[in-house]
Structure 1
Amino acid sequence: MTDEELLREASRGVEAAFLELYERHKTAVFRFAFRLLNSVELAEDVAHDCFLSLIKQPQKFDSTRASLRTYLYAAARNLAMKHFRRAGHLVAVDDLLTEPPAPDSQQPLYQALDKEISALVQRAVASLPPLQREALVLFEYEELPLSEIGKIVCADVGTVKARLYRARQALKRSLSGYFAEQTETCVLEEAFKSTTVR
């Protein structure tokens, strides 16, 4: 069944349909929220609230305007922005070192190196302004096309590109000392490769 069909069934009270939608999208919504908020607890709350809102008001989703994934990302983004406004853009230092669950690596040395690189990248990404951070997360981590990102963040493609450019420049400056042996282009590729949640 498509997302739209499942949502229609879920809005009629079919619990299995809602559970199927939840299983399809929960990881992506959580991961996106985590990358914006750098807190497992806040990301879980955002993901929960997104699905709660969807089940309470399914009519807010319009499949002619966007996919369900886009709708859920936009809802998660809006909830994250509310948090930023309330918190004054501050995130606890302990939360910056928290990582989403990821599969274990086979070798301890690689595991330690991956964890160190991941923490560096997470701190650098967390230091970005929220609008740049969300554009970067959606493009680099979630691998969404610019047009879909524009729908999620309510901005035109040119604005999304500008935010991405500024975010990348800031990350290059922030991470270049840690990846001095590599070219600037490889800095971000290596950084994102090591922090991708599979």
Structure 2
Amino acid sequence: MSLKIFRSGSISFPGLPVIDNWEAIPVHTRGAKPKLPESMTDERLLAEAGRGDEAAFLALYERHRDGVFRFAYRLLSSMELAEDVAHDCFLSLLKRPQSFDPARASLRTYLLAAARNLAMKHFRGTRGEDALEDLADEPFAHERHGPLSQLLDEELSQEVRRAIDNLPPLQREALVLFEYEELMLSEIAAVVGADVGTVKARLHRARQRLKKQLAPYFKSSPEAAAVDEVLK
């Protein structure tokens, strides 16, 4: 059976399942959902998928797709671009499984790094290198589960979403990986190809920018006022 990935007619070769609707996961070509033990490691699933096992691919896809798509969407603020990034990440993995080295990083970290690289290509093409300028280290103090995290998780207003979208790409990706994907600083460093100190600096800058952009919101919202206390 010849199967296709993503959009009908876009790419096809044996061993890949149909993924036409990225808004309704899982999507299967026919019949009941294939079952595999949840305890199977990513490495084992990838090896089986490389041999054309559709169930193994679907298990990998369902395990990691949401995180990859969510990360790409929050970087790019575009459903279509995020779909393209997620599609390309999984397609690249299946075409070149040897590019993933489990001794260096988890598959989740690998896929997020791939998504990040694709998103950065978009920024370079549309905004130039200045938008990606690195930041110097600064003092950092942060609570993942404090009021700021609550505000970000709940996304209480369009103002908050716009403020996050307006962050420079390097700051936005660090914030998204830390707050939404709950990666450790060392994992974020592996995804973005920077040291932990640089990641801390980007998070610090992101928090300060959010505080500035949301200053009017702090005055009108009790929840955001609590965040303002944390950011001081």
Deviation at 1:141, TM superposition (A): 1.1
The gaps in structure 2 that reach 5 residues or longer are 1-39, 129-153
Residue 83 (str. 1) matches residue 122 (str. 2): yes
Residue 42 (str. 1) matches residue 81 (str. 2): yes
Residues 126-152 of structure 1 deviation map (CA, whole Å, 9 limit, x = unaligned): 111111111011001111100000000
Residue 145 (str. 1) matches residue 184 (str. 2): yes
In 1: Cα distance, 2:42 partner to 2:199 partner: 27
Find the partner of 2:68 among 29, 37, 60.
Answer: 29
- Structure 1 match to 2:212: 173
The gaps in structure 1 that reach 5 residues or longer are 90-113, 190-198
Residues 108-139 of structure 1 deviation map (CA, whole Å, 9 limit, x = unaligned): xxxxxx77x34212211111111111101100
Q: TM-score, normalised by structure 2?
A: 0.67
Deviation at 1:188, TM superposition (A): 9.5
The higher radius of gyration belongs to 2
Residue 2 (str. 1) matches residue 70 (str. 2): no
In 1: Cα distance, 2:157 partner to 2:190 partner: 29
Residue 68 (str. 1) matches residue 96 (str. 2): no
- Structure 2 match to 1:96: none
In 1: Cα distance, 2:76 partner to 2:214 partner: 20
- CA 166–141 in structure 1, closer or farther in 2 if over 3 Å, else same: same
In 1: Cα distance, 2:161 partner to 2:175 partner: 12
- CA 21–11 in structure 1, closer or farther in 2 if over 3 Å, else same: same
In 2: Cα distance, 1:70 partner to 1:130 partner: 18
In 1: Cα distance, 2:157 partner to 2:48 partner: 40
Find the partner of 1:59 among 77, 98, 102.
Answer: 98
- Structure 2 match to 1:186: 227
Runs of 4+ in 1 over 3 A off after TM superposition: 181-185
Amino acid at match of 1:146: L
- Structure 2 match to 1:154: 193
Of residues 73-82 and 173-182 in structure 1, the stretch that sits farther from structure 2 once superposed is 173-182
How many residue pairs end up in the alignment? 164
1:177 match: secondary structure = helix
RMSD of equivalent CA atoms: 1.9
What are the equivalent positions in structure 2 for 1:98-177 lying under 5 Å apart?
117-177=156-216
2:216 match: secondary structure = coil
The answer to whether the 8 A contact 1:172-1:184 is kept is no
- Structure 2 match to 1:18: 57
Amino acid at match of 2:227: C
Q: TM-score, normalised by structure 1?
A: 0.78
In 2: Cα distance, 1:30 partner to 1:185 partner: 31
Higher relative contact order (CA 8 A, sep 6+): 1
